Structure 1
Amino acid sequence: MDSGAFRTIEAHGGYPEPPEAYAAQIRRWSRNGELLAAVSQDYMCEPHMLAITGLTIADHQRLTIERYDALMACDLGGVYLMPVLQGYTPADYVRHLEMYGDRLAHGAWVGVGSVCKRNGDPAAIEEVLLAIKRRRPDLRLHGFGIKTTALRSAIVRALLWTADSMAWSFAARKQGRDGNSIQEAKMFADKINGMQVDQTLLSLMVPA
């Protein structure tokens, strides 16, 4: 379950509702099927988002963790709350890892934020993911808004455990098809899952 963080920060420069309001939505949606996780409400670190809040990357990283802690203190109905790593340069993400401390358990499923606007430069996404994995190879990383352009990179696909994208829906609507069709989503997923991952190349970059 996505938190809608990007649009919320873009529109309001922060979260107008308390953490309890989002926690209530998580509990509500958990009763409509098998909700695997809900993404924490983070603060993106792209330059235009910093311009909206007037804050720094370090501020957004701190606020992201504070919001995560506040949500973890709420009743989430047993749903896993996915923490999000924020930053812009690889070093930023490593610093955010350190700021989280022992909140990130071994093998935790963790989101990587502020990468969706860099789909046209897969190398930049690779560098971010590699920096995180070199520090914490145990983490299961989730990429937000990762398009086929970036997923063509064997490195990106190998380093991500999961990813989400609305590119398939946008393409379907643009081409006159149903942008809400489960079949459209499945065709996109099958296309991505059919791409080969070079594990040998990956092992040379990230020690096991």
Structure 2
Amino acid sequence: MPIEIVVGLPHLSEGPILQRARAMGAPALISANCLSRWKRHEGWREWAGWRLRTLANASGLASLDLDSGGFTAMVRYGALPWSVDAYMGLAASYPFRRFASLDYCCEEAVAADREEVLDRIARTIRTNRDCRMRAVDLGIADRFMPVIQGRLPTDYERCIDGLWHLMTPGTVIGVGSVCRRPIFGPEGLIAVFEHLDRVLPAGTFLHGFGVKGEALPYLRAFEHRVKSIDSQSYALIARYDANQRGISKTDQFVADHMERWTRRQMERRCEAVRPLQRELALPAPQDCRDDPWERAIAAAREEIRTLIEDGDLDHDEITIGWIEQWAADIYQAGVCHG
């Protein structure tokens, strides 16, 4: 089957963009962030729930998927403003075709170093488990889409191992932190999808969040595995085009770009399969922790990640203070027994 092109919508306000999406008959996706309500409290902007009435405007779309908006939330607010229960309440409020788990993205803009990437993978495992359990309670587990995260191709395998019970035949798995990747290279888009194709169980499928359209001819090699991709890159193209022309970026202008972009992706997915640059073997990360304190910090991080994945700590509780106190206990124990 050809890879499905899902159009990311910036909002569900009635107008040219939504009308064009209906007319195109394209499957659509929205972010939880675009349905958020905010209020000012003592000078601070606070999340105040969902604008659920807006969902009525989705009538007439071919289908509608929901993304948790993790990257936007981390960049804008530094954390997820909504809890698992709040997000799952949104997921249950409309018959979304698929809704993604809450997750913790691993892009460089959010996760500056290797330790933070591993922390965010652990949190992603925990939020997937929590969202899945809540989905079962709400009777919507059949529409739940697990999300895996990572920086290196092999990072995603850690997520898969932690969520193996969710990797059942027919499941569509969302792949995060891929929209800003180059197509090629040892950490590129193709390397990630090639690795996932080798390690995932048969019968499971992938959805790529924000995948570049130019990657489609290469992804055709994985049509047996890649179910769909989504993107809202047409909005960036529209902004650039409007700036170049010196005109206003109206919703009508954006809608025209959305339609042209979608048609171009349809053409790309029919192009001949392009040869792949095979995944390159990466050198094993070097552990230069000869210092006892650095070893204690590393051990503390690993223990805390395990507790988060197992549900003994909340996924949003890990802090530098926690890590250092935990490491101090490990360090003291090592000194006493050294």
Is 2:179 the counterpart of 1:116?
A: yes
Alignment match of 1:69 (pick from 125, 129, 148)? 129
In the TM superposition, residue 18 of structure 1 has moved relative to its aligned partner by: 1.5
The letter for the 2-side match of 1:163 is I
Structure 2: give runs of 5+ residues left out of the alignment. 1-65, 243-251, 280-338
Question: For residue 91 of structure 1, what is the aligned residue in structure 2?
Answer: 154
Q: Greater share of helix residues, 1 or 2?
A: 1
1:43 is aligned to: 104
- Structure 1 segments, 4+ long, off by >6 Å, are none
Residue 196, structure 1, aligned to residue 260, structure 2:
no
Compared CA separation, residues 95 and 69, structure 1 to 2 (3 A): closer
Among 223, 229, 237, the residue aligned to 1:171: 237
Partner of 2:308: none
**What is the rounded CA distance, in whole Å, between the counterparts of 2:255 and 2:68 in structure 1?**
19
Identical amino acids, percent of aligned pairs: 27
1:162 lines up with 2:228 in the alignment: yes
When normalised by structure 1's length, the TM-score is: 0.79
Deviation at 1:171, TM superposition (A): 2.2
1:197 and 1:137 mapped to 2: Cα distance? Answer: 24
Q: Could you tell me whether the CA contact under 8 Å between 2:217 and 2:269 is conserved in 1?
A: no
In 2, the alpha carbon distance for the partners of 1:38 and 1:103 equals 15
TM-score, with structure 2 as normaliser: 0.51
Match of 2:316 in 1: none
Question: How far apart are 1:155 and its partner, in Å?
Answer: 5.4
What is the RMSD of the two structures over their aligned residues, measured on CA atoms? 2.9
CA–CA distance in structure 2, aligned partners of residues 48 and 27 of structure 1: 31
Native 8 Å contact 2:207 2:228 kept in 1: yes
Question: Is residue 216–residue 269 contact of structure 2 (8 Å, CA) maintained in 1?
Answer: no
More strand, by proportion: 2
Distance 1:60 1:161 in 2: 25
What do the CA deviations read for 1:115-140 (whole angstroms, capped 9, x no partner)? 1111x333411111111111115221
Give unpaired runs (5+ residues) of structure 1. none
